[in-house]
Structure 1
Amino acid sequence: MAPKLPFELNDPDVFKDKSYVNGEWIESKSGKRFEIIDPGTGKPWASCPTNSAEDVPAAVAAAHLAFQTYRKTNPRTRAKLLLEWDAQIRAHRDDLARILVHEAGKPLAEAHGEIDYALGFTWWFAGEAERVQGTVSTPSAPGRRVFTVKQPIGVAAALVPWNFPIAMILRKAGAALAAGCTMIVKPSPETPLTVLTLAHLAEKAGFPKGVFSVLTTDLENTPALSEALCRHELVKKVTFTGSTRVGKLVARNCADGLKKLTLELGGNCPVLVFDDANLEQAATQILALKWRHAGQACITANRLYVQKGVYDKFAEIIANRSRGLKVGHGMAKDTTMGPLTTPRSLVKASEHVEDARSKNGRILFGGNKMNIEDGFFFEPTVILDAHSDMQISKEESFAPILALFPFDTEEEAVGAANKTSMGLASYFFTKNVDRTWRLLENLEAGMIGMNCGNSSAAESPFGGIKESGYGKESGKDVAIAEYLITKTGTLALEDHF
Structure 2
Amino acid sequence: MEVTLADPVSSFPVYDPASGNCVGHAPAQGELEARRAIDAAAQAFDAWREIGPAARASALRSFAAGLQNEAEHLSRLISLEQGKPWRESRAEVDQGIAYLHWFAEEARRAYGDLIPDRFAGGRMHICREPVGIVAAVTPWNFPFSMPLRKIAPALAAGCPVLLKPAPETPLSALAIAVIAERTGLGSGLLTVVTGDREASAAIVGAWIVDTRVRKLSFTGSSATGRHLAELASADLKRLSLELGGNAPFLIFEDADLDHALDGLIAAKFRNAGQTCVSPNRVLVQASIYDGFVARLAERIRRLVAGPANDPMSDIGPLISAAAVEKIDRQLSDALARGARLLCGGQARGCFYQPTLVADVTPEMMIAREETFGPVVALQRFADEVEAIRIANDSCFGLAAYAFTRDADRIWRLGETLEAGMVGINQVAISTEEAPFGGIKQSGYGREGSRYGLDDYQNLKLISLGPTTVAHIREMASC
Q: In the TM superposition, what are the counterparts of 1:229-378 in structure 2 within 5 Å?
A: 229-370=207-348, 375-378=349-352
In 2, distance between residues paired with 1:409 and 1:231?
51
Flag the 1:16–1:465 CA change in 2: closer, same or farther, 3 A: farther
2:476 aligned residue? none
Q: Tell me the distance in 2 between the aligned counterparts of 1:241 and 1:292.
A: 18
Give the Cα–Cα distance (whole angstroms) in 2 for the partners of residues 349 and 491 of structure 1: 61
Q: What residue number does 2:120 align with? A: 142
Q: Deviations over 1:253-280 (max 9, x none)?
A: 1110110100000001001000000000
Give the C-alpha shift of residue 336 in structure 1: 1.3
Match in the other structure for 2:358: 384
CA distance in structure 2 between the partners assigned to 1:437 and 1:153 by the alignment: 37
User: Pairwise mapping of residues 419-434 of structure 1 onto structure 2 (< 5 A)?
Assistant: 419-434=393-408
Asked whether the 8 Å contact 1:103–1:190 carries over to 2, the reply is: yes
1:484 is aligned to 2:462:
no
**Structure 1 stretches of at least 4 aligned residues deviating more than 3 Å after TM superposition:** none
- Aligned partner letter, 1:119: I
CA contact (8 A) 2:401 2:425 kept: yes
Under a length normalisation based on structure 1, what TM-score does the superposition of the two structures give?
0.92
Q: Does the 8 A contact of 2:119 with 2:466 survive in 1?
A: no
Listed as ranges, the matches of 1:51-130 within 5 Å are 51-130=29-108
Tell me how far apart the structure 1 counterparts of residues 300 and 109 of structure 2 sit (CA, whole Å): 44
Q: Trace 1:104-253 onto structure 2 (pairs within 5 A).
A: 104-253=82-231
Instruction: Give distance in 2, aligned partners of 1:320 and 1:232.
Output: 55
Aligned to 1:415: 389
Residues 298-344 of structure 1, C-alpha deviation per residue, up to 9 Å, x if partnerless? 00010000001111111122112221111111112221110001221
- Structure 1 residue aligned with 2:445, among 449, 455, 471? 471
Following the alignment from structure 1 to structure 2, what is the Cα–Cα distance between the partners of residues 342 and 100?
16
Match of 1:5 in 2: none
Match of 2:19 in 1: 41
C-alpha displacement of 1:352? 0.9
CA–CA separation in structure 2 for the residues paired with 1:123 and 1:456: 16
- TM-score, length-normalised on structure 2? 0.96
Structure 1 residue 17: Cα displacement:
4.2
Matched-pair contact (CA < 8 Å) for 2:23–2:81: no
- Identity, in percent, stands at 38
Aligned to 2:307, what secondary structure does the other structure show?
Answer: coil
Deviations 1:218-254 (A, max 9, x none): 0111122112112211101110000101100111111
Alpha carbons 2:269, 2:374 under 8 Å: kept: yes
**1:105 and 1:329 in contact (8 A); partners too:** yes
* 1:199 CA drift (Å): 0.7
CA distance in 2, matches of 1:161, 1:17: 21
Unaligned ranges ≥5, structure 1: 1-10, 19-26
Q: 1:220 and 1:399 mapped to 2: Cα distance?
A: 25
**Partner SS state of residue 190, structure 1:** coil
The total of aligned residue pairs comes to 470
CA shift at 1:454, angstroms? 2.7
**Match of 2:410?**
436
Q: Is the 8 A contact 1:142 1:496 kept in 2?
A: no
Residue 167 of structure 1, CA deviation: 1.1
State the 1:354 CA deviation.
0.9
- Could you tell me how far apart the structure 2 residues matched to 1:35 and 1:85 are? 28
Cα offset, 1:165, TM superposition: 1.5
Distance 1:136 1:193, change over 3 A: same
**Secondary structure in 2 matching 1:298:** coil
- Other-structure match for 2:370: 396
Give yes or no for contact 1:422–1:466 (8 Å, CA) kept in 2. Answer: yes
SS in 1 for 2:40: helix
**Structure 1 residue matching 2:250: 3-state secondary structure:** strand
Secondary structure of the residue aligned to 1:309 is helix
Instruction: Tell me what 2:475 maps to.
Output: none
Structure 2 equivalent of residue 455 of structure 1: 429
Would you say the 8 A contact 1:308–1:408 is kept in 2?
yes
| 1:191-224 Cα shifts (integer Å, max 9, x gaps) | 1100111111111221111100100010111122
Aligned AA (1:289): A
Determine the C-alpha separation between the residues in 2 that align with 1:424 and 1:386. Answer: 21
Q: How far did 1:103 drift? A: 0.6
Distance in 1, Cα, partners of 2:167 & 2:5: 12
Offset at 1:124? 0.4
Q: Contact 1:272 / 1:428 at 8 angstroms: preserved in 2?
A: yes
Rounded Cα–Cα distance in structure 2 between residues aligned with 1:98 and 1:205: 21
SS of the residue 2:345 aligns to: coil
Describe the SS at the equivalent of 1:341.
coil
1:313 match: secondary structure: helix
SS at 1:482's partner residue?
A: helix
The answer (yes or no) to whether the contact 1:299–1:454 under 8 Å persists in 2 is no
Q: SS state of the match for residue 280, structure 1? A: helix
Asked if the contact 2:128–2:457 (Cα under 8 Å) also holds between the matched residues in 1, the reply is: yes
Secondary structure of the structure 2 residue equivalent to 1:71: helix
Is residue 397–residue 441 contact of structure 2 (8 Å, CA) maintained in 1? yes
The CA RMSD measured in Å over matched residues stands at 1.4
Which shows bigger deviation, 136-145 or 82-91?
136-145
* TM-superposed deviation, 1:16: 4.5
Q: Secondary structure at the match of 1:126?
A: helix
Q: Return the alpha-carbon distance in structure 2 between the equivalents of residues 348 and 141 of structure 1.
A: 64
TM-superposed CA distance for 1:143, in Å, is 2.4
Contact residue 17 and residue 196 of structure 1 kept, 8 A: no
